[in-house]
């Protein structure tokens, strides 16, 4: 190696380490691919506040809704991989929207670094107090005895609860009517009123009604019980293995972001997620706090698995994005 080339390499290493050590060098944008006021936005703002205090530099939430949440995600995927543009992402734009809209302008698996899993809100099967089924097996039995007649409220086309309802039809070999509603609120309102007796929804949407004994939680659509509803059995406990539907939230950076920057962000995120006040805030939203350990390759593998699962369900059911 020539003397000049050696000097160039040495300077690159020195300045590279310096850049990582001084991260962030300027305000950081945290892209939320949804409108202000929703759960993802709240998570982003709570995390941004903690990062701002931790780093002494501004972390600013930038809401970029639209396109099945893919507009905001694509902005991050195409950003400079220097750690100054981050995505507060969800399972929607990374595992569901590509199937609903016939593809995405980014690769959910290779265009992002998964810094951390911030939280999870499982889908739960809920029912009016007078519904005769005691759990998801009860719904299956009723649907088999009355094919095509049982009405199940669907609070959002293409959302995780809708896909959970479609997937159960397939794996249990049953047929029921998924009644579409413009959101979880109207769907659960009709369950409360008894117009429709059951619904797949998120724990976040149903928790106040469940805690108020206005609605029964029959089954958590997961491989394990939810810490927010520890008394409610999981789908796996009722013999429905590999039947899982959750809405999850994660922190991502563009692919090729330097390891030193990723490690710095992971340390800060770990500190935030271990904070009792933040854990309480997430739980108040119906979200189980996540962890840095569940990010990285574990979260990328989850994205791969869910892309395949939901892509197949969407195709089989003929669901299109709205």
pLDDT grade, residue 159 (50/70/90)?
very high
pLDDT of residue 21: 62
pLDDT of residue 10: 43
What are the two backbone dihedrals, phi and then psi, of residue 110, each rounded to the nearest 5 degrees? -105, -10
Global pTM value: 0.90
pLDDT of residue 169: 96
CATH classification (class only), 122-238:
alpha beta
187, pLDDT greater than 50: yes
20, pLDDT greater than 80: no
| pLDDT tens-digit series, residues 61-101 | 999 999 999 999 999 999 999 999 999 999 999 999 999 99
Nearest CA to 257 out of 102, 101, 149, 111 is that of 111
Q: Rounded to whole angstroms, how far apart are CA atoms 115 and 168?
A: 32
% of the chain exceeding 90 in pLDDT: 90
CATH number of 3-121+246-317: 3.40.190.150
In the chain, CATH 3.40.190.10 sits at 122-238
222, pLDDT greater than 60: yes
| pLDDT tens-digit series, residues 31-65 | 999 999 999 999 999 999 999 999 999 999 999 99
């Amino acid at each position: 190696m020539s003397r000049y080339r050696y000097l160039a390499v040495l300077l690159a290493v020195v300045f590279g380490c310096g850049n990582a050590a001084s991260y962030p060098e300027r305000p950081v944008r945290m892209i939320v691919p949804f409108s202000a006021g929703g759960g993802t936005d709240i998570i982003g703002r709570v995390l941004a506040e903690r990062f701002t205090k931790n780093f002494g530099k501004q972390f600013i939430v930038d809401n970029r809704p639209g396109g099945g949440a893919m507009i905001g995600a694509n902005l991050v995927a195409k950003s400079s991989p220097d750690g100054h543009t981050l995505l507060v992402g969800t399972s929607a734009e990374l595992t569901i929207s590509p199937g609903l809209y016939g593809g995405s302008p980014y690769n959910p698996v290779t265009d992002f670094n998964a810094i951390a899993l911030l939280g999870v809100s499982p889908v739960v099967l809920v029912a009016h107090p007078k519904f005769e089924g005691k759990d998801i097996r009860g719904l299956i039995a009723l649907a088999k005895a009355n094919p095509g007649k049982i009405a199940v409220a669907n609070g959002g086309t293409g959302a995780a609860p809708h896909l959970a309802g479609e997937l159960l039809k397939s794996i249990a070999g049953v047929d029921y009517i998924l009644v579409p509603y413009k959101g979880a609120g109207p769907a659960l309102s009709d369950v409360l009123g008894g117009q429709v007796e059951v619904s797949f929804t998120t724990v976040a949407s149903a928790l106040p009604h469940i805690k108020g004994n206005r609605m029964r939680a029959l089954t958590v659509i997961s491989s394990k019980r939810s810490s927010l509803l520890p008394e409610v059995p999981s789908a796996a406990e009722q013999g429905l293995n590999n039947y899982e539907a959750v809405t999850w939230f994660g922190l991502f950076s563009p692919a090729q972001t330097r390891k030193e920057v990723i490690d710095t962000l992971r340390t800060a995120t770990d500190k935030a997620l271990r904070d009792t006040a933040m854990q309480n805030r997430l739980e108040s939203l119906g979200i189980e706090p996540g962890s840095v350990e569940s990010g990285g390759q574990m979260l990328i593998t989850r994205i791969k698995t869910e892309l395949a699962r939901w892509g197949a369900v969407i195709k089989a059911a003929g669901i299109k994005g709205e």
